[in-house]
Amino acid sequence: MKVSPLALGLSLALYAAAGSVVAATVPSNTSGTSAATSSTPPQPASDGNGDDSADPASRNRAAKAKQLGPVNVSAALDVARNSLSPDTGSSQYVISAQDIQALPLGASTPLNQVLLQAPGVVQDSYGQLHVRGDHANLQYRINGVMLPESISGFGQTIDARVIENVKLLDGALPAQYGERTAAVVNITTKTGADLGNGGVVGITGGSYGTINPYASIWGNSGKWSYYFTANYDENNVGIENPTSSKDPVHDHTNQVKGFGDISYLIDNDTRLSFIFGVTNNRFQIPDNPDQTPQFGYLDLTHFNSADLNERQDEQTRFGMLALQGKFGDTNYQVSVGQRYSGLQYDPDDIGDLMFNGVAAQINQADRASTVQADFARPWATSHTLRYGLYYEFDSAMTNTNSLVFPANPDGSQASTVPYNINTGDRILAKTAAAYIQDEWDISDAWTLNYGLRGDRYTAFREESQLSPRVGVVWQATDSTTVHAGYSRYFTPPQTELISSESIEAFANTTNAVKNYGNNTPLTERSNYFDLGAQQSIGSDWTVGLDEYYRKVNRLQDEGQFGTALIYSTFNYKYGRVRGTELSLTYNHGPISAYFNAAYSRAMGKDVITSQYNFAPEELAYIADNWIHLDHDQKLTSSGGVTYAITDNTKVGADYLFGSGLREDGLTPNGLSLPDYFQLNMNVSHDFDFASIGKLHTQLALINALDRTYELRSGTGVGVGAPQFGPRRGLFLTLEKPFSF
């Protein structure tokens, strides 16, 4: 029998997927199946000609392809697109839309809180995440298209409601993944082709003045399909409280998000998609009462720190146009995109001057334009060749209007009359990358993925690297999978720089630095080793274990060194990161449960860039001694359980545990903050009223034990202020689906 090239490509892709999912998934809390199963693209129904079109070989025969409906063609194209993105040799954790809905806040859960359910993910202040001992360095992809990194801030850009499933890939990644490599957050969005014609409107409200109305609409007509969602969020805890009090002072936020995905089927082998998003977030910077001013202002010597009025606004807009399909034996996706992000920090002029010696109005903007192309084709009898390129042009600017006091040679305040200094920086950055890799099915039990990636980054200087990658998967038994991998990584710094000219402009002021040093951040280079296994125990249990080690030169880290919640990049000369992850899932009947635990140790030595942020004695110690990175957390754990009482009523709980991030002791980052435990609970019920139809309700209790815990103490390398975790909060969601 003659097999079509597309069928061969799909078969290889499906085999790769089966052999390379090597970390456990969050259990689906609605169907009782794993997230990997629940996120599989829906299979087309019979084509009406006596053949079961769910069979890939028959569904994709040329004679039948012309008879497939638009929904079936979209499903086939989804599978083809998945074949472009291998994860052989890396670790993968999958969270489906059903899993997100089962979280206490359901789809109102911020994306960073969703990702905290995966192993090795550590929470930090301002919504930051650290994966496997790295600071940020996360790569976000939407339907396989890389979304350029935004200006570092604390607003959430992507709404969890758009997610059909999200895969967290980390470890030794294949050659097609570069630039941001701590982990790849690979999001597959919901589509009208899968959901039919309908939508949902709802609202989440509750503690701390929370009001979060939202609406989504989706559908398909002929060759068109679409999905749109928007929501507004308002509450009084926009940023972590700097005190342990129940109600933070001056912490209101207003956030607006919108997302859209429009697709058009050009023919049975080609699809054009446009994905876009917009976010506008406004934050009050929370106040820390009872602080003592360090400077005088005119005739003022006292200022109530609870009356500070600092604010920060953030905007993000992105759009990506992707052409995806098949040409001969080759599956491809080619995309162009652009992302704009802006940030404005407005100080309290008098208050910031008296507490910090500087009141800086900061305006940052960054616009990135991208081109990405990925290709996959079978060759010989057991190989899949993948290759592609990526190019990004990034234009970033910073304008700062600062009020400062004159200073004496010893740094003390020389006058209580401030004066103004204007500074600005502009950066043009270019990133170019190309890769080639081969996935070789050596036998039914062994799959080898090897490749080479080349990167060149031009901004502050020109840097480049060739990076070999290799990963292997051994299907030891039907229930046992072992993987191992090695990757060489090249990580450019963020396009945010404070130039030497800007630093020197503040000489002899209360904002002068104590060290000048090298102000230009360097590209990080590292060697990453990963070894893991997954074991299925019967049909209900899955356990995964993973070990990793990363040896780093020019290790990148970031810190908040000023009053604004903006991060600056600096480099340690050396870095060492290692850890272990354990994951466990259980699915049986009405019960779904998962458990994750991780050990991590992340160390750095000798600060070699951006020394102006550090005190001389701090630099001297770090130059000769290894220290913990400020985001290093020794032990991390998450878990949850859901029980379906009936088809319409479910109860659940989840938790987060951490042994504490770092703070200063006798040495920089020498101590660990106290451990913390946060328990969340929820109950949901679907009503069916004769007058209005179905109504979904969900009641969530966050931090049910009301435990007070500190994420940051305000000390540590690059730590600007204390932050506490959330206090107890009660939230109710009402959601009404509709169809048309």
Residue type, 214: Y
Q: How far is the C-alpha of 576 from the C-alpha of 597, rounded, in Å? A: 21
Delineate the domains of the chain, giving CATH numbers in brackets: 5-739 (2.40.170.20)
Beta-bridged to residue 187, according to DSSP, are 142, 166
Coil/strand/helix, residue 497: coil
Q: How far is the C-alpha of 281 from the C-alpha of 311, rounded, in Å? A: 11
Residue 439's alpha-carbon distances to 69, 178, 341, 372, 447, in angstroms, are: 32, 18, 37, 21, 7
Coil/strand/helix, residue 342: strand
Query: Which has the closest alpha carbon to 285: 241, 243, 254, 316?
Result: 241
Return the biggest CA–CA distance within the chain: 93
List of the chain residues with pLDDT < 50? 1-67
Residue type, 2: K
Residue type, 313: D
**Angle (CA) 235 238 244, round 5°:** 105
Query: Which has the closest alpha carbon to 725: 668, 674, 652?
Result: 674
Q: DSSP letters along 590-603, please?
A: TEEEEEEEEEEEEE
Residue 344's alpha-carbon distances to 312, 314, 318, 359, 723, in angstroms, are: 6, 7, 18, 13, 21
Backbone angles phi, psi at 418, to 5 degrees: -80, 160
- Strand-pair category, 210-221 with 541-559: unpaired
Query: Which has the closest alpha carbon to 720: 598, 630, 626, 590?
Result: 630
pLDDT at position 565 is 63
The residues, ordered by sequence, that sit 6+ positions from 320 with a Cβ below 8 Å of its Cβ are 142, 145, 147, 274, 275, 276, 335, 336, 337
pLDDT at position 156 is 74
Secondary element (H or E) of residue 113: helix 111-115
Q: How far is the C-alpha of 690 from the C-alpha of 505, rounded, in Å? A: 71
In Å, how far from its chain's centre is CA 259? 17
The structure tokens listed for 608 are 């070699």
pTM, to two decimals: 0.87
pLDDT at position 158 is 87
Q: How far is the C-alpha of 518 from the C-alpha of 27, rounded, in Å? A: 48
Q: DSSP letters along 474-515, please?
A: EEEETTEEEEEEEEEEEEPPPS----HHHHHTTTTBTT--S-
Residue 692's alpha-carbon distances to 294, 686, 696, in angstroms, are: 61, 13, 12
Rounded to the nearest 5 percent, the helix, strand and coil shares of the chain are: 15, 55, 35
Coil/strand/helix, residue 98: helix
Q: How far is the C-alpha of 168 from the C-alpha of 85, rounded, in Å? A: 13
171: left (phi over 0), alpha (psi -120 to 50) or beta: left
Tell me if 196 sits within 8 A of 217, measured CB to CB: no
Q: How far is the C-alpha of 418 from the C-alpha of 404, rounded, in Å? A: 5
The structure tokens listed for 728 are 């107890």
Q: How far is the C-alpha of 552 from the C-alpha of 491, rounded, in Å? A: 11
In Å, how far from its chain's centre is CA 139? 7
pLDDT at position 633 is 96
The structure tokens listed for 637 are 């754990």
Tell me if 418 sits within 8 A of 351, measured CB to CB: no
The structure tokens listed for 289 are 């009462």
Q: In 135-238, at which residue ranges do the beta strands (DSSP E only) sit?
A: 138-142, 145-147, 163-171, 183-189, 198-206, 210-221, 224-235
Q: How far is the C-alpha of 191 from the C-alpha of 263, rounded, in Å? A: 9
Query: Which has the closest alpha carbon to 572: 606, 620, 619?
Result: 606
Write down how long the chain is: 740
